[in-house]
Structure 1
Amino acid sequence: MKNKFDLIVIGAGSAGTSVARSCAAEGWKVGIVEELKYGGTCMLRGCDPKKMFLAVTEGIDAIERMSDKGLTTIEPTVNWKKMSEFKNSFIEPMPERVENSLKRLGIEEFHGKARFNDDGSLQVGDDVLESEYFHIATGASPIQLGIEGEEHVKTSTDFLDLNNTPERIVFIGGGFISFEFAQISKRGGADQVTILQRGEKVLNQFDADLVDMQVEKSREMGIDIQLNSVIQKIEKKEHEYTITYNSPNGLSHVVCDLIIHGAGRGANIQDLNLEAINVATTRKGVVVNEFQRSISNPKVFSAGDAADTSKPNLTPVAGIEAKIVAKNLIAKEDKYKTTYPAIPSVVYTLPPIAKVGLTEKDVEQRKDEVKVKFKKTHQWYSSVRVNEKYSAFKTIVDKKTNKILGAHLLGPGAEEQVNVITMAINQGLTVEELKAIVFAYPSYSSDIKYMFD
């Protein structure tokens, strides 16, 4: 059955549904295709469910920190099944809500795997979809590891679908997923938690001094972090797995019940047959210009994790790019360029690590022009109050203008402090102007003015 549209959106996450809604509101005939449940990774399989797990384990963390400061309680434990039910109470209604919101705008929905035909149409099951424009917003998926026994490795989605406490769990890779889920697992009652990192550093996108402190914290919790560890093979015997890897100490082994992929994600475009419509791609996604349009096929746009842009795969980035796609589609010309403000990023460990703006590495060639301030803050009131000994910051300021160039934070409240500093950077505030703001006291935000000279 053939269907003709003004726009077909492939992917029903945040980078797809917002474009579909904007164009439908202008009277366009819009179709949207999704292989999985409507709502996307962040809502259903990433940011939101992860933080619901985190909310439960925050209770464990708080009790551990305050147990000798006057808080008397029976030793707490996590009921993983109930924690999963709590997460599902938010997740399960969302796909229907998303679908209903699209239907109200007259957007036609298709469920299934999308693949382009040689004539430029899109095949979804028995449906053949023709359109003036296509928007690819299929997100990202775990990269191939290329190791023997890779079929035994589960994904972050599988982790979030667990109903029982993982007893012995290994995370491959030292990024966001591994550190966040490793801490959730350990606080959730896992006996053995291991992170195997191929390189000599973990959380490479974040400040090295703060990461070192987070590694120390995680190891203190009982998480085994193995660096320079290259996996050779994974073997299954009955209900357990043996991972063989090369380490600085030679050939090593770890036995576990569950292995989770945390070694990076790539654009989820492999099965679209984009060659059929002459869409240039890289491992990072669809190659687009500054207007989010494919450089090789003007009928195609892309945004979010499926697009090859210079920015990291974050939901706010997808939102910015999708807005530009919609504006240029509606204008029917390349009128609006994608520009990015300073965008904060957070690793939701406990305590969290946050960053915004330039890093110390970014400014190493202009050290005479900037002020870099690094300080551990475990003796500051905000950390003492909650008995958190792992807290610090690093700020970067332009000496000439006294404007804030970057900030890197570890500690309680870091995920909110970074938002305030992000606003300061995007508004072009000087240090003096930021310090002139009166914050509620005592609060995490009131600490910010002491982070700058």
Structure 2
Amino acid sequence: MEQKEYDVFVIGSGSAGQVVAETCAQNGLKVAIADNREYGGTCPNRGCDPKKILLAPTEAYETATNLIGRGIFSAPKLDWKALQKNKRKFTIGVPKATEKDLTKLGIDLFHQSPKFLDPQTLSVEGKNSTVKKVVIATGQIPRKLKFEGNTFLKTSDDFLSLKKLPKSMAFIGGGYIGMEFAHMAARAGSKVTVIERGDRILKAFDLDLVSHLKKSSEDLGIRFILGAEVSQIEKLRKNFRVHYAKGGQNKSFKVRSVFNTAGRVPAIDTLELNKGNVTCSDKGILVNDFLQNTGNPNVYACGDVSLHSLPLTPLSGIEGAIVAENILKCNKKKIEVPVVPSAVFTLPNLASVGLSEEEAKSRYKNVVVNYKSVPDWYNAKRINTSAYAYKIISNKRTRQIVGAHLLAPHSAETINLFAMAINQQLTTEDIKTMIFTYPSWANDIKSMV
């Protein structure tokens, strides 16, 4: 069997893996990279980017619908087929362009998932490779649900490539993905049900603001079934019957398509990590502050698959740069993660940065919590939206902002101002004295603090 030798072998071609491979190759190392799917990773091919492309027309639909009778004559109609065609213009060239850029740097490309044979040997495409350093950047995949009929479940990949929108659909899981898709599908004309095993949706976000979003979602026509455990998916002639248990009772409903949006898990099952002495858990690869594996010091992990990471693309790129530097300079760079904002791209957006109210109260002796629902503020009234709320948390002693939670049409943008404020340790007075464009959503933050 052919044997190759590499200084660095990267598994995964998303943003983290690309940064490592390119940086190491540019510095004279012999590099290989492997991916068992399209090159470029989840975000540009089947994640964040195509999702937001499909979202854009629904944003226009929402604004126009809210302004009927206020200068808009009638609501536009969403053409799902045209939405998908537009999305493909952005995604179709990503794999080829990514491979071209990597090949230009002399990087060897593989199109299967490698397996560890021992701590410094990988097998891929029928070839064994001796490697000095391995970088695992395989990202995450949908969590498998275990019940009868689970093979009928579709995933986020399927939703983002739907040629025709089903008349009805159910999403099992009320997290980021389920809620974003539910909003898109409902505005495009599908009858949507979100079924969640917990007693609330979006458990990572502030409960008060989630309550406002749930109300907006119900006004859109989305049905929620909370505290429910799905037990079976039954195939009917045209539909599926979803069986679930709730409150000690067995119930069911019919729907045209069912999607698994119950979260994602590290994509590591096929790597045979035990043979490489790579320590891991069901949440990801175990790493130290250098993003170096705790079991095999010649293995690094970055991006969503790392136990240190949050599943956010900008952070993956940062981690990739740190891993590359540590490979080149023998562990000189520890990871220091700034306060990172996150957002759910429903309409309205739900966004958060920093500490929750509970976390702030447990960490500081005295905090100030400003929480209000303000649909009567100018910017909300201007576009006739009924959902506008915020919760801003500050340290009473220092007056520094420590947490911010927003629900608004553009809160995914506005939250970045609060991220900057927290990272720069700005006080409420610092924000109040700033001058922003007026009237703008950004200017509203002065009234929130």
TM-score band w.r.t. shorter chain: over 0.9
Paired with 1:331 and 1:244, the residues of 2 have a C-alpha distance of 56
Paired with 1:249 and 1:168, the residues of 2 have a C-alpha distance of 26
Q: For 1:373, what is the secondary structure of its paired residue?
A: strand
Paired with 2:196 and 2:22, the residues of 1 have a C-alpha distance of 41
Paired with 2:329 and 2:126, the residues of 1 have a C-alpha distance of 32
**Partner of 1:71 in structure 2?**
72
Paired with 1:130 and 1:367, the residues of 2 have a C-alpha distance of 51
**Partner of 1:444 in structure 2?**
441
Maintained 8 Å contact 2:120/2:132: no
Range with greater deviation from structure 2 (203-212 or 62-71): 62-71
Deviation at 1:408, TM superposition (A): 0.2
Maintained 8 Å contact 1:171/1:178: yes
**Partner of 1:403 in structure 2?**
400
- Post-superposition Cα deviations, 1:339-385, rounded to whole Å, max 9, x if no partner, equal 11010000000010000000101023356421111011101111111
**Partner of 2:349 in structure 1?**
352
Deviation at 1:76, TM superposition (A): 2.3
Q: For 1:350, what is the secondary structure of its paired residue?
A: coil
Task: Please list, as runs of the form range in 1=range in 2, the aligned pairs for 1:277-296 lying within 5 A after superposition.
Answer: 277-296=276-295
- Match of residue 415, structure 1, among 412, 416, 420: 412
Maintained 8 Å contact 2:11/2:113: no
4+ runs deviating over 6 angstroms: none
Paired with 2:252 and 2:20, the residues of 1 have a C-alpha distance of 48
- Post-superposition Cα deviations, 1:108-166, rounded to whole Å, max 9, x if no partner, equal 11111221124742111222222100000000011121111111111101100101112
Maintained 8 Å contact 1:120/1:276: no
Q: Which runs of 5+ in 1 are unaligned?
A: none
Maintained 8 Å contact 1:77/1:189: no
1:328 is the counterpart of 2:326: yes
Maintained 8 Å contact 2:50/2:87: yes
Range with greater deviation from structure 2 (344-353 or 397-406): 397-406
**Partner of 2:143 in structure 1?**
143
Deviation at 1:55, TM superposition (A): 0.3
**Partner of 2:184 in structure 1?**
184
Paired with 2:294 and 2:150, the residues of 1 have a C-alpha distance of 35
Deviation at 1:239, TM superposition (A): 3.1
For these two proteins, the number of residue pairs brought into alignment is 448
Deviation at 1:436, TM superposition (A): 1.8
Letter in 2 for 1:317: L
Letter in 1 for 2:267: N
Paired with 2:323 and 2:124, the residues of 1 have a C-alpha distance of 23
Q: For 2:19, what is the secondary structure of its paired residue?
A: helix
Maintained 8 Å contact 2:364/2:395: no
**Partner of 1:425 in structure 2?**
422
**Partner of 2:116 in structure 1?**
116
**Partner of 1:91 in structure 2?**
91
Letter in 2 for 1:449: K
**Partner of 1:31 in structure 2?**
32
User: How has the CA–CA distance of structure 1 residues 122 and 239 changed in structure 2, closer, same or farther, with 3 Å as cutoff?
Assistant: farther
**Partner of 2:202 in structure 1?**
203
Task: Please list, as runs of the form range in 1=range in 2, the aligned pairs for 1:270-281 lying within 5 A after superposition.
Answer: 270-281=269-280
**Partner of 1:3 in structure 2?**
4
**Partner of 1:390 in structure 2?**
387
**Partner of 1:22 in structure 2?**
23
TM-score by length of 2: 0.97
Task: Please list, as runs of the form range in 1=range in 2, the aligned pairs for 1:33-52 lying within 5 A after superposition.
Answer: 33-52=34-53
- Post-superposition Cα deviations, 1:380-418, rounded to whole Å, max 9, x if no partner, equal 111111111111000011111111101000012211110
Paired with 1:248 and 1:70, the residues of 2 have a C-alpha distance of 48
Letter in 2 for 1:8: F
Range with greater deviation from structure 2 (234-243 or 248-257): 248-257
Letter in 1 for 2:146: G
TM-score by length of 1: 0.97
Paired with 1:249 and 1:307, the residues of 2 have a C-alpha distance of 38
Paired with 1:324 and 1:237, the residues of 2 have a C-alpha distance of 51
Maintained 8 Å contact 1:243/1:255: yes
